Amino acid sequence: MATAGPSAPLGILFLSGLVFATILSANASDADVLLKFKAAISDPAGALRTWTADTAPCTPKADDSSWAGVICDNGTVLGLQLEGMRLSGTLDLGLLAGLAGLRTLSFMNNSFRGAMPDVKRLVGLRSIYLSMNQLSGPIAGDAFDGMWSLKKVHLSQNGFSGPIPASLAAAPKLLELKLDGNRFEGAIPDLRQKELQVVNVSGNSLEGPIPAALATMDADLFAGNKGLCGAPLGVPCASSSVSPSNKSSSSAMAVSLAIAVVATVGIVGLALLALRRQPSRVQEEQLGRLPSSKNSSAKKARTASYKENKLEEGPPADERQSESGRGSGSGSGRKSAAGGHEQGRLVFVKEDMVRFELHDLLKSSAEVLGAGKLGCSYKATLTSGHSMVVKRFRDMNRVGKEDFEEHMRRLGRLAHPNLLPLVAYYYRKEEKLLVNRYVPNRSVAHLLHGDRKPNSATLDWPARLKIVKGVGRALIYLYDELSMLSVPHGHLKSANVLLGDSFEPLLTDYALVPVMNQSHAAHAMEAYRSPERKQFGRTSKKSDVWSFGLLILELLTGKNPSDQGKEDLLSWADSLAKEEPAAASTTDKVAAVVFDKMTNADEGEMRKLLKIGLSCCESNVDKRWELKDAVDKIEELTAEEGDDGHRRRSSSSSEGVDASRDDAFSSVAIN
């Protein structure tokens, strides 16, 4: 009995030590697997420098990790999120087969090359994100065999070719399939998963009828495939065309037709029901959801009161859930609609900004600032005295809720002196609200093309050069931070360049291409007017360079491209810029005809900037300058300040400016 006392705690200590050793062994195994994977790829920027042998990727009963990009769940590796880290090499995912708890992998926006990696060994995988790399070649038809838990497959913006793997049709839990921006050929497999919500195959070379089960999806998801036909594209199929799932028998065709008819009738019925239940636009405005924008084209500010009782659920993005318990955005949206409306909430993405609740915003007075091609904008003055700008978008349904919120968090992390920061957002399936701080000064477009009064502020050469340099620096920053985007800004123009008190530029409406509906973006956003978009049907990173060049020409000439057409402005400026500058008469001609008289400056440095602008507007995208080359050249330019009296007069942010027109033309009409 004397020895019985200490024996119990010793046994407990022994068992505890055994359990702890088991956990350490598991973590050591995970660490070994990840370190082998790290050794097999190239990491020139040192993004994975925190992956070291002397630390564990996950600690017991913890969900965070000191290893960059590692997602933990109760001490085990749940996923890898290695996005935008400039990683390269070939992906050997078989090296990760030792991670028993692995559920999600994301290598988006890197430079991995080679064929589609073998994912079949990762049988428990639920999501795989390989978009925006340099992967290429055909994908084996059985590439996804046996992956019964697979929910999300994102392979966009690579160089994959050949047919879409037929094994995707056998993944029973598939929710999202994004294959856009590749070179896939042939027919779309017969995807009939009950929970399937998004299938994006736009920008490929597919052909044949779209499967009936996908007929109710957005037509944008199938755009850019000249051979596709049927709903939802509205392109009739030839009578001999039979979808892949219907080739086996005529009875299968009859079943598909019946399904299509029933689906169509159901959609019409739901639409009629929705119309009966949905208040009209006039009723919405009477309820006070948002002030009407129909008079905003005349720039007449109105006051209205928001109401929140008609706004639907908008949960904060920071309420993160594990992958296993997380549905897609559209799925959760349907659940909310069916199960009753929850209280909507603003989601803040900036920690250092003044905080307020949605009801504060909705009850504030609101002035219509303007309406443009992307939506409407309103100035909301809170009871605290702070003014914010609310931008209302209706064509932001390109991605589901989860991807939308992730992109908003990405924008919230941006910080640059020449970017107007995103403060908060509100998610609703039918529309989205983005909140920025209010900038009381004018846009470049207003100062260049608004009604000029004798004592109004003007843009002299130093101010214009300052604007060009600031815009260039902001674009370089966007290209570095959002390198995963094909068009990091996407909507650069003078109306989207606001001016601070010292004429420092602030870019707005940047990086919205990933969340905008493609069909709407194609006719509303500046990048989609670039020559390469017109010639080849695709934008590129140099599309922003083209927009930058147009902005430079607009600042130099004072002419509005929308008045005379961008091509006319380009050809006119180009023809005069090619004149031999030797003769004084020619120099005078360029200075007098090309450059805006309001610049009050010698044309030497301005002529250099003109050549830079034209080089940025080169129609041949291969000959067009890279952004960095253009910005480096711009940084070399100098401006004479002039006498103090003139500089003060030209740089004033308020003197002699009509305040009512300032508000109407300022900030943030969404154009």
| Non-local CB neighbours of 276 within 8 Å, separated by 6+ positions | none
- Of 246-260, 507-521, 623-637, which gets the smallest average pLDDT? 246-260
Per residue, the 3-state secondary structure of 88-127, as one string, reads: EEECCHHHHCCCCCCCEEECCCCEEEECCCCCCCCCCCCE
- Of 28-42, 93-107, 134-148, 534-548, which gets the smallest average pLDDT? 534-548
Based on the fold, state whether residues 452 and 307 are members of the same structural domain: no
User: Does residue 283 belong to any structural domain of this protein?
Assistant: no
Query: Which run of H or of E encompasses 389?
Result: strand 387-393
Identify any residues that bridge with 160 across adjacent strands, giving them in sequence order: 137
Based on the fold, state whether residues 642 and 602 are members of the same structural domain: yes
Distance (Å, whole) CA 392 – CA 374: 8
| pLDDT level of residue 571 (50, 70, 90 thresholds) | low
Distance (Å, whole) CA 154 – CA 132: 10
User: Does residue 248 belong to any structural domain of this protein?
Assistant: no
| pLDDT level of residue 483 (50, 70, 90 thresholds) | confident
Name the nearest CA neighbour of 525 among 539, 537, 536. 539
| Cβ 111 vs Cβ 83: under 8 Å | no
More confident residue, 308 or 462: 462
Query: Which CATH number fits the domain that encloses residue 507?
Result: 1.10.510.10
Q: Does the global pTM surpass 0.85?
A: no
| pLDDT tens-place string over residues 574-598 | 665 555 444 434 334 444 545 665 5
User: Does residue 11 belong to any structural domain of this protein?
Assistant: no
User: Does residue 249 belong to any structural domain of this protein?
Assistant: no
- Of 239-248, 329-338, 445-454, which gets the smallest average pLDDT? 329-338
| pLDDT tens-place string over residues 606-654 | 888 988 998 998 888 889 999 999 999 999 998 764 433 333 333 333 3
Going 562 to 564 to 569 to 573, the CA torsion angle's sign is: negative
Based on the fold, state whether residues 186 and 299 are members of the same structural domain: no
Residue 336 pLDDT greater than 50, yes or no: no
Distance (Å, whole) CA 669 – CA 662: 12
Identify any residues that bridge with 377 across adjacent strands, giving them in sequence order: 370, 391
Based on the fold, state whether residues 94 and 230 are members of the same structural domain: yes
Question: How many other C-beta atoms lie within 10 A of the C-beta of residue 573?
Answer: 24
Distance (Å, whole) CA 108 – CA 128: 9
User: Does residue 456 belong to any structural domain of this protein?
Assistant: yes
| Cβ 91 vs Cβ 107: under 8 Å | yes
Coil, helix or strand at residue 377: strand
Q: Is 513 exposed, middle or buried (0-12, 13-18, 19+ CB in 10 A)?
A: buried
Query: Which CATH number fits the domain that encloses residue 369?
Result: 3.30.200.20
Q: Which of these three, 372, 407, 438, is where a domain ends? A: 438
| Cβ 69 vs Cβ 86: under 8 Å | no
DSSP 422-439: EEEEEE-SS-EEEEEE--
Amino acid occupying residue 644: D
Going 423 to 426 to 427 to 433, the CA torsion angle's sign is: negative
Amino acid occupying residue 439: V
Determine the length of the chain: 671
User: Does residue 526 belong to any structural domain of this protein?
Assistant: yes
Distance (Å, whole) CA 337 – CA 340: 6
Based on the fold, state whether residues 406 and 458 are members of the same structural domain: no
DSSP 52-92: -TTS-SS-TT----SSTTEEEETTEEEEEE--SS--EEE--
Radius of gyration of the chain (CA): 29
The per-residue pLDDT for 136 is 94
Helices 566-577 and 604-616: angle between axes, nearest 10 degrees: 130
Name the nearest CA neighbour of 43 among 71, 82, 98. 82
Overall domain count for the chain: 3
Ordered alpha helix ranges (H), 457-596: 461-481, 518-524, 531-536, 541-557, 561-564, 566-577, 584-593
Residue 155 pLDDT greater than 90, yes or no: yes
Identify any residues that bridge with 372 across adjacent strands, giving them in sequence order: none
Question: How many other C-beta atoms lie within 10 A of the C-beta of residue 575?
Answer: 10
Based on the fold, state whether residues 112 and 54 are members of the same structural domain: yes
**DSSP letter, residue 315:** -
Based on the fold, state whether residues 582 and 448 are members of the same structural domain: yes
The per-residue pLDDT for 576 is 54
- Degrees, nearest 5: CA angle 186-178-476: 120
Based on the fold, state whether residues 480 and 547 are members of the same structural domain: yes
| Non-local CB neighbours of 347 within 8 Å, separated by 6+ positions | 314, 315, 316, 317, 318, 405, 408, 424, 425, 426, 427
| Cβ 535 vs Cβ 543: under 8 Å | no
Based on the fold, state whether residues 337 and 224 are members of the same structural domain: no
Residue 381 pLDDT greater than 90, yes or no: no
Average pLDDT, the chain: 73
Mean of pLDDT values over 260-266 = 43
Based on the fold, state whether residues 228 and 81 are members of the same structural domain: yes
| Cβ 79 vs Cβ 100: under 8 Å | no
Q: Which of these three, 438, 460, 481, is where a domain ends? A: 438
End-to-end CA distance of the chain: 87
Based on the fold, state whether residues 565 and 597 are members of the same structural domain: yes
Based on the fold, state whether residues 384 and 492 are members of the same structural domain: no
Query: Which CATH number fits the domain that encloses residue 29?
Result: 3.80.10.10
Distance (Å, whole) CA 667 – CA 650: 20
User: Does residue 285 belong to any structural domain of this protein?
Assistant: no
Name the nearest CA neighbour of 364 among 434, 428, 447, 306. 306
Q: Which of these three, 234, 254, 271, is where a domain ends? A: 234
| pLDDT tens-place string over residues 433-456 | 999 988 887 789 888 887 655 555
User: Does residue 272 belong to any structural domain of this protein?
Assistant: no
- Phi, psi at 59, each rounded to 5°: -110, 150
Name the nearest CA neighbour of 115 among 133, 140, 88, 137. 137
| Cβ 336 vs Cβ 140: under 8 Å | no
- Phi, psi at 154, each rounded to 5°: -120, 110
Coil, helix or strand at residue 250: helix
Per the structure, the complete domain to which residue 38 belongs is given by 16-234
